[in-house]
Amino acid sequence: MTHFAVIDLGSNSVRLSVWSVKADGQPVAETKAKEMVRLSEDMGDEMTLKEPAIARTIAALQKFKAIYSPLEDLTIKAYATAATRQAKNQKKFLKRVQDEVGLQIEVIPGVREAELDYVGVINTLNVQSGLIMDTGGASTELVLVQNRQLEHRISIPFGSVNLTEHFVHHDPITPGDLFRLWSSVTNVFNGIWWLREAQNLPIIALGGSNRTLAKVQRRKHHFRNFEDIHGFRMLSRNVNRVFAEIVDADVEARKAIPGLSRDRADIIVAGLVPVVTMLRFIDADKIIFSQNGLREGALYEYLQGTQRVAADENVVDETLTDFTVDD
């Protein structure tokens, strides 16, 4: 029996997924693990990873190594996204991981991250068209899907952690902070010309902040497995109700909201502004939630022996490298 593992080193959390692969090629999920490391915390204008965040990340990766190292016939992929991608001390950080964990990490561009999200979604959700939106700690990936084909994609350098650091200066957030945050996010969306093609399509939401909406809603309605949100649909009016409840609360009160992780209480408002803004921007009536994204995309590429699923010359790779804020 072979094994396949993926590590997704994000800006807020690091995650591990492990599958065994049967002789007929069918994957069986074996292990999932997550550690909140806040790798992008306090990167500042100098855009350097700080020692406390590096130490937390290496400790988490060492925990993961204890899980995957005993496995036989293992193929492992380790991807780093926005925080590492943006860091000026990226090479030094990667060398420390190599030296202390024995793990080689591939830093992928935002459009590659978006592509893997698309592969993970399209192989596990029955959706024809929609806007995939993956809000992480320091980047947000958007993918326009039409008739199950990837049409456009872009990576935007904002997420729950860096938006919080830029805009959320009070607890609870003030109307002025919220307005400046909302305006800056809207200005970025205004500059993405192809979003007009997403009008009235559902949003397919990935990322811990976005998934929080579904978990809070499911807890309100007493779902037995409230965290099992893959394929769960939520109307925009219910999204707005949950978001209003979160915005009205301070950090301590948010920690008590059922379905909202205490580890996200301080960054959840800024983390949700992009998806709530997008609902209005494209006039979507619902969100469809996906638990599968980058890691599952890597799995299906491995199983199918494919990569660069959107290599068609008509698909343009786009990445925003600058996000100017007025705070």
69 and 141 inside one domain: no
Q: What is the pLDDT of residue 290?
A: 97
**How many folded domains does the chain comprise?**
2
Q: Which stretch of DSSP H or E encloses residue 15? A: strand 13-21
Cα–Cα distances in angstroms (integers) from residue 63 to residues 7, 28, 131, in the given order: 12, 22, 35
* pLDDT tier, 225 (very low <50, low <70, confident <90, very high otherwise): confident
Task: Look at phi and psi of residue 268 and say left if phi exceeds 0, alpha if psi is from -120 to 50, else beta.
Answer: alpha
What residues make up the domain containing 169? 111-294
Same-domain pairing of 194 and 130: yes
Q: Which H/E stretch holds residue 177?
A: helix 175-190
pLDDT of res. 242? 98
What digits encode the pLDDT tens for the residues 277-320?
999 999 999 999 999 999 999 999 999 986 554 444 344 445 55
Q: Is residue 315 part of a domain?
A: no
List alpha helices for the chain, DSSP H: 51-68, 82-86, 90-101, 110-122, 160-167, 175-190, 208-220, 236-248, 251-255, 268-281, 294-304
| CATH code (residue 232) | 3.30.420.150
Residue 240 lies in a domain: yes
Question: What pLDDT was estimated at residue 305?
Answer: 87
Residue 320, helix vs strand vs coil = coil
DSSP letters, 221-266, are TT-TTTT--TT-EEEHHHHHHHHHHHHHS-HHHHHTSTTS-GGGTT
Over residues 8-31, the mean pLDDT reads 94
Q: How far apart are the first and last CA of the chain?
A: 54
At 310 the pLDDT is 45
The upper half-sphere exposure of residue 156, i.e. CA atoms within 13 Å in the direction of its Cβ, equals 26
Is the alpha carbon torsion for 226, 229, 233, 235 positive or negative?
A: positive
- Specify whether the CB–CB gap between 136 and 11 falls below 8 A: yes
CB neighbourhood size of 147 (10 A): 7
Mean pLDDT of 111-134: 97
For residues 272 and 213, the answer to whether their CB atoms sit within 8 Å is yes
Alpha-carbon gap, residue 2 to 72, rounded angstroms: 7
Structure-token pair, residue 242 = 């949950």
Residue 32 and residue 118 in one domain: no
pLDDT at 17: 98
Whether 310 maps to a domain, the answer reads no
The answer as to whether 17 is a domain residue is yes
Average pLDDT over residues 148-170: 96
Kindly state the tokens that stand for 32.
Answer: 């999932």
Residue pLDDT, tens place only, 50-109: 999 999 999 999 999 999 999 999 999 999 999 999 999 999 999 999 999 999 999 999
CA gap 143, 137 in Å, rounded: 18
Question: What's the average model confidence in pLDDT over 30-48?
Answer: 94
Residue 98 identity:
Q
Locate 297 and state its tokens: 């995309």
| Together in a domain, 98 and 32 | yes
Residue 309 falls within a domain, yes or no? Answer: no
**How high is the mean pLDDT of the chain?**
93
Same structural domain, 22 and 165? no
Statement to judge: residues 187 and 268 lie in one domain: yes
Contact criterion met (CB below 8 Å) for 130 and 202 = yes
| pLDDT at position 306 | 67
Q: What is the CATH number of the domain that holds 8?
A: 3.30.420.40
Percent of the chain with pLDDT over 70: 93
Residue pLDDT, tens place only, 143-158: 999 999 999 999 999 9
Shared domain for 161 and 87, answered yes or no, is: no
Q: What is the pLDDT of residue 223?
A: 86
Diameter over CA atoms, the chain: 58
Q: Give 36's pLDDT tier (boundaries 50, 70, 90).
A: very high
Eight-class DSSP state of 171 = S
Q: Are 261 and 247 in contact (CB under 8 A)?
A: no
Mark whether 153 and 285 lie in a shared domain.
yes
Helix (H, G, I), strand (E, B) or coil at 41: coil
* Token pair belonging to 302: 């491995």
Q: Please indicate, yes or no, whether residues 80 and 128 belong to a single structural domain of this protein.
A: no
**303 located within any domain:** no
Contacts of 178 (CB under 8 A, 6+ apart): 247, 269, 273
pLDDT at 322: 55
Residues 167 and 58 in one domain: no
Write down the pLDDT at residue 222: 84
Instruction: Note whether 18 and 85 are same-domain residues.
Output: yes
pLDDT, position 323: 56
